[in-house]
Amino acid sequence: MDELQRLILLGENDTVDFKQRVTQPEKIARTLVSFANTRGGIILIGVKDNGTISGIDPEEEKHTLQMAADFYCDPPVPVQYEEVEEDHRTVLKVIIEESKVKPHFAKVKEDDWRGYVRVKDTSVQTSKMVNKALEQAPDQFERLPLDRHENALLGYLQLSPRITLKQYMKLANLSERRAYRTLVKLVIHGYLRLHDKEKEEYYTLS
């Protein structure tokens, strides 16, 4: 059995995703970001959800994918392509490595960038489910060197029980986007825990 058949047989999971076509860069950007933020993965384009090979025009798909990777992901997500022929149909294999510059964010709409992680076979927005992702795979999120803003935040939380996004923006004099990016990064790497059941989300030390 060749590798493509093996991947299809395993079905969609935390490192494999099927797409029949890629038409909207903002949607595929979420999948790219979720793989880069988690353990990396492969997107098979030209494969239906049920595993049937439908085939595609690879150049057309690459154009949309590259646009998504470069302009709808921040920082941009590096992607590699392999074209695989099966029954006279072309499947585009898109390979995303686990990123060394987490977290990545996907552009949802103008001035609205959100983090995603891969949980089982879906891309999940970090602000809702990052704790579940961390519980499932605590060993894959390595500790990393922190800058002064991040260290100051951890210092603050050793003295105070919790902090909200607004409080952190004020404390560090950061824009909402930069403050949110820092908080998500610290959650993804296991320093902070996000509590999103309350009316206003808040963060505590892990």
**pLDDT (average), residues 141-158:** 80
CATH 3.30.950.30, domain 3-129, yes or no: yes
CATH 1.10.150.120, domain 142-205, yes or no: no
The SS3 of residue 47 is strand
At 170 the pLDDT is 92
More confident residue, 51 or 186: 51
pLDDT over 80 (residue 196) = no
Type of residue numbered 72 = Y
At 177 the pLDDT is 83
HSE-CB at 104 with a 13 A cutoff on CA atoms is 33
Type of residue numbered 120 = K
At 119 the pLDDT is 81
pLDDT over 80 (residue 95) = yes
Return the structure tokens found at 110.
Answer: 């103008």
At 65 the pLDDT is 97
At 143 the pLDDT is 56
With cut-offs at 50, 70 and 90, classify the pLDDT of residue 145: confident
Count of H helices and E strands in the chain?
A: 7, 10
| Mean pLDDT (the chain, rounded) | 88
Distance from the first to the final alpha carbon of the chain: 44
At 125 the pLDDT is 83
The SS3 of residue 127 is helix
At 130 the pLDDT is 53
Cα 146 from Cα 40, distance rounded (Å): 23
Type of residue numbered 82 = E
Please, which residues bridge with residue 75 across strands?
none
What's the pLDDT tens digit per position in 100-141?
888 899 999 888 888 898 888 988 887 554 544 444 444 444
What's the pLDDT tens digit per position in 27-82?
999 999 999 999 999 999 999 999 999 999 999 999 999 999 999 999 999 999 99
DSSP tag of 139 = G
At 201 the pLDDT is 86
Cα 141 from Cα 19, distance rounded (Å): 27
The structural domains of the chain, with segments of one domain joined by +, span: 3-129, 142-205
**pLDDT (average), residues 13-30:** 96
Position of tokens 């603050």?
Answer: 156
